[in-house]
Structure 1
């Protein structure tokens, strides 16, 4: 599984439409972890504290693989499952969606709700755009200032995504494709004569 590509979304996406007076707002975002997915769900709920429902669903390629959905107070099976089904049918991973509903006074029934929640997810995903992604891993590299230029140069030549934090030492938070990660570790160790402290994870 490590080297395979998978389908996810290119960035954040949104959708909005009305069904018989009820307003549906769809939000989608790419995430790497279940905790990032939960944070996005909380962020949307904070944006819409007065919404009737904020229905979440996500699929995350973690170890173990995580899938989650909730009806968030809607009738059982009418909201979370239809939202998650869209992600499953499109074979999307590392994606979180939240559908916000403002009730408009007319009951839509389970079928109407399921259609509306599915549509909100489809439109938010379409808005974001689907991409093929390679599995990445995160590595933290800590070095003295003397070695920081060398490390930065290697990361840039590898095309790695990274953030640098300058404190007592320099810490690079690196995101690198899984298949390139071992070579990167070897290059960093040899270039710094083993002085680079390399830790997996964030």
Structure 2
């Protein structure tokens, strides 16, 4: 069973097709930030594949309060959108939208065949796309003088800290670092020891960073 506290999403956009009894099923996947982005992605695929008999959809967005939607787009109720959504649920994904476009090949698949076809199209495309975990981090702005900045940046990277940005100004150098939310106190202690107290860090916000899903 997937962990509802983990924020898993598709690594990037992907597209993959399968053929079953002369019907062609093409799944398009994308990472989306919210429902508006999901609907815009769905609209774009429907426009691209206007000649498909069906463009069935499913998406999950949000964190703790996840929002789910699916559409059979003319297929028998429960045979397309729901099995697509179930694949996203089983994988524990959020912020992910899927569209499966079908070109009918003249052979009826039956309810069970449709469920398997739509579910398989999404599942196979997810396998190709890959999944990442978006882990919450605190953003810390580390400031140092120009003399120490280069070595400090190297030390930060060597210690495994996520350096996100480095900017140079007249007053000094600002290095933005992403630190796991539970590790900010330890980071401040590390920074003080590594720099002999000559550098400081101020929290500037929160974000999520990609990490390979275990």
Aligned equivalent of 1:55: 56
* Separation in structure 1 between the aligned mates of residue 136 and residue 89 of structure 2, nearest angstrom: 18
**Is the strand fraction higher in 1 or 2?**
2
**Taking structure 2 as the reference length, what is the TM-score of the superposition?**
0.64
Instruction: Return the match for 1:183 from 196, 203, 212.
Output: 203
Q: State the TM-score, normalizing by the size of structure 1.
A: 0.67
Matched position secondary structure for 2:122:
helix
Residue segments in structure 1 that go unaligned for 5+ positions in a row? 138-147, 160-175, 186-202
Unaligned ranges ≥5, structure 2 = 139-166, 185-201, 206-214
Matched residue, 1:77: 78
Residue of structure 1 equivalent to 2:20? 19
> Is 2:33 aligned against 1:32?
yes
SS of match in other structure, 2:204 = helix
- Per-residue CA distance 1:96-116 (angstroms, 9 max, x = gap): 000000011111111000000
Contact 1:5 1:135 in 2 (8 A): no
* 2: CA distance, partners of 1:101 / 1:80: 12
Q: 1:85 to 1:79 in 2, by over 3 A?
A: same
Residues 38, 178 of structure 1: alpha-carbon distance in 2 compared, 3 angstrom cutoff: farther
Task: Note closer, same or farther for the CA distance 1:36–1:106 as it changes in structure 2 (3 Å cut).
Answer: same
Q: How many residues align?
A: 153
